[in-house]
């Protein structure tokens, strides 16, 4: 899967002389072109183009545009990757094409792919006056919401492919989309909305139901606050390590092997009982308080309204609950400007208020104001706003964020186009429930006559939190599995996963023994 394809431009024209006119893309404004020598984060010599498309003035009076960069390796392998980024987007992350495993040096660019990356249609630093709420303030413009949800990818992808093909004067042989978290959502949206655009899609730990998952942020903060009135201190590190060890004690050997890893995920959900952690009368050490056990059971149950109707999903009990990443998302961060609040209490709060509910609610950007918004969130009054629309905002958050048909997926057009999809998700993900993704895949399978595996494979990674890391075998390569499937017809099976050298949590618990991740 290698070999160079060079055009008159790539061979004879200095990269800095490339123009949009020469590439034949009138809808693009190129801001800069530069040749970058290989080394460090950029393994191969390549040409970097940066530009914008789709500029507009928003309802809020702010200037918006889809900003991007495209990296074109001198030794091109004839293939293209659209790098779907995460979080609230809002910045043009270097287009190196991270392949989502524990080896961060393994990128699409390093393998010879042309790669594009974008800000998804808005700048995250356009509202500095909004403080910590600024990154989600673009939610006050309907078009910016739409670009963030799906249209930026739909607008940029054909332009990027046209630039690649013009630069090399050769067709792209295979196109891929790769992303984790919100980027995983972008991949799943592409499978639904752009079924013929990509030959293969890799969706890692996807937030495909992101507005519903954002309701969980308020649910979590309120549950933790009920323990002792202070979210960050609801559970100490030792408390959560105790929970993790208790889960291992009850579930580790359910697969017939005691190895500090809960491989039989489903059996663990049936067996695990957190009540065993609760202190006995008079006991104060080596246990959890009744309030802590209640909080754990509450957050794992998932958000509900007062009629008992579920608003998102339940969550899996898994040993990664003791990881630093789980704590960072749910309880506290080491970031002083955030007031050491967790990620859900900062970015999550601002997004729920300004992006995922309609009409948007302007929130102040201080750590306390953002936490207060989640503490005051009403699951009867406010939760329905994720499906609400208005004249000014004609698409609800669920409309513009969620893959069409995600509640009853079939992906018939993607299947008919010959596309291939690999989805993987950490069982201990603290922000998007693996149980929700599992439910999605089981519905997809049922809607395809129990044969979704013909075009879509789904892997769970026990112990892994939000992305590679945690007490999990995280040195895996799903992207190669996808490429072999697309280009050689080799169906993915069990994937060997080791422990990356930088993953100290997994090195301490699992050592260097590799595991198999099975679809």
* Active-site amino acid positions: 181, 429, 466
Task: Give the number of other CB atoms < 10 A from CB of residue 373.
Answer: 23
Q: How far is CA 233 from CA 181, 227, 292, 335, 342, in A?
A: 27, 9, 11, 15, 11
Q: Tokens 């590190």 label which residue? A: 237
According to DSSP, the β-strands at 63-73 and 46-57 are antiparallel
| Closest listed residue to residue 464, CA positions, set 275, 326, 279, 293 | 326
Rounded to 5, what percent of the chain is helix, strand, coil? 40, 15, 40
Q: How far is Cα 50 from Cα 396, in angstroms, rounded to an integer?
A: 32
Q: What are phi and psi of 420, to 5 degrees?
A: -125, 140
Burial 101-122 (b: 16+ CB within 10 A, else e): bbbeebbbbbbbbbbbbbbbbb
Burial 321-341 (b: 16+ CB within 10 A, else e): bbbebbbbbbbbbeeeebbeb
């Amino acid at each position: 899967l290698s070999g160079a394809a060079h055009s008159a431009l790539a061979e004879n024209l200095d990269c800095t002389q490339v123009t949009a006119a020469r590439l034949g893309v009138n809808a693009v404004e190129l801001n800069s072109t530069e040749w970058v020598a290989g080394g460090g984060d950029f393994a191969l010599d390549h040409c970097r183009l940066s530009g914008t498309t789709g500029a507009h003035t928003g309802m809020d009076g702010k200037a918006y545009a889809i900003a991007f960069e495209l990296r074109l390796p001198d030794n091109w392998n004839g293939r293209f990757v659209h790098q779907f980024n995460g979080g609230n987007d809002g910045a043009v992350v270097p287009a190196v094409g991270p392949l989502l495993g524990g080896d961060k040096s393994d990128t699409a660019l390093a393998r010879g792919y042309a790669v594009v990356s974008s800000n998804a249609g808005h700048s995250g630093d356009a509202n500095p006056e909004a403080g910590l709420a600024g990154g989600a303030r673009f939610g006050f413009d309907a078009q910016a919401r739409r670009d963030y949800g799906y249209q930026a990818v739909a607008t940029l992808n054909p332009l990027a492919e046209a630039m690649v093909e013009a630069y090399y004067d050769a067709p792209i042989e295979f196109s891929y989309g790769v992303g984790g978290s919100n980027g995983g959502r972008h991949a799943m949206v592409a499978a639904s909305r752009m079924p013929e655009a990509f030959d293969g899609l890799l969706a890692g730990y996807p937030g495909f139901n992101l507005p519903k998952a954002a309701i969980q942020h308020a649910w979590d903060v309120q549950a933790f606050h009920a323990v002792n009135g202070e979210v960050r201190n609801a559970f100490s590190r030792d408390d959560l390590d105790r929970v993790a060890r208790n889960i291992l004690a009850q579930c580790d050997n359910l697969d017939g092997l005691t190895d500090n890893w809960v491989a039989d995920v489903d059996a663990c959900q049936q067996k695990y009982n957190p009540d065993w952690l609760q202190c006995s009368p008079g006991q104060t050490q080596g246990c959890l308080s009744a309030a802590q056990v209640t909080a754990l059971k509450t957050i794992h149950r998932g958000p509900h309204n007062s009629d008992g109707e579920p608003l998102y999903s339940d969550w899996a009990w898994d040993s990664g609950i003791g990881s630093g990443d789980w704590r960072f998302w749910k309880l506290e961060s080491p970031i002083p400007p955030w007031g050491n609040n967790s990620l859900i209490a900062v970015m999550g709060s601002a997004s729920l208020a300004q992006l995922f509910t309609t009409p948007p609610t302007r929130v102040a950007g201080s750590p306390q104001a953002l936490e207060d918004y989640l503490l005051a969130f009403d699951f009867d009054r406010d939760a329905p706003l994720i499906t609400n629309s208005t004249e000014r905002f004609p698409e609800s958050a669920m409309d513009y964020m969620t893959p069409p048909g995600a509640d009853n997926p079939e992906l018939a057009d993607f299947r008919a186009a010959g596309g291939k999809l690999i989805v993987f998700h950490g069982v201990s993900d603290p922000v998007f429930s693996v149980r929700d993704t599992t439910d999605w895949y089981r519905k997809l399978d049922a809607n395809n006559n129990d044969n979704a595996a013909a075009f879509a494979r789904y892997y769970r990674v026990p112990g892994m939190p939000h992305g590679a890391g945690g007490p999990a075998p995280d040195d895996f390569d799903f992207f190669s599995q996808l490429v072999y499937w697309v280009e050689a017809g080799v169906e993915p099976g069990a994937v060997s996963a080791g422990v990356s050298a930088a993953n100290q949590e997994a090195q301490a618990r699992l050592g260097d023994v590799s595991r198999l991740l099975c679809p």
